[in-house]
Amino acid sequence: MKTIAEYDQEIMQNPNDAKLYNTRGNAYANEENDDKAIADFTKAMQLEPNYMCPYHNRGMAYYNIGDFDKAIADFTKAILYCLH
């Protein structure tokens, strides 16, 4: 697995790559840095609104911090994307 610093470098070179933000968000989540993870998942969604993974991942981050309403909203969006 890459380090956050490695993802930082890749994002600097490809600032519009939603998958890089999602993956770095997972790295932040693994370090229990949910605020930075949420920011990266949100950026991934802004760049690619139909990309389902960051909705699920942000839902998990919201769940981890106890914001269950936001978690449910994101999980619902992830499920809806899977159904289409």
Average pLDDT per block of 10 residues along the chain, 84 residues long = 93 98 97 97 96 96 97 95 78
Q: At what angle do helices 4-13 and 18-30 cross, to 10 degrees?
A: 160
For residue 12, give Cα distances in angstroms to 16, 35, 36, 49.
9, 20, 16, 21
**Can you list the domains of the chain with their CATH numbers?**
4-83 (1.25.40.10)
Q: Which amino acid is at 39?
A: A
Give the per-residue pLDDT at 40: 98
The answer to whether the predicted template modeling score (pTM) of the entire model surpasses 0.85 is yes
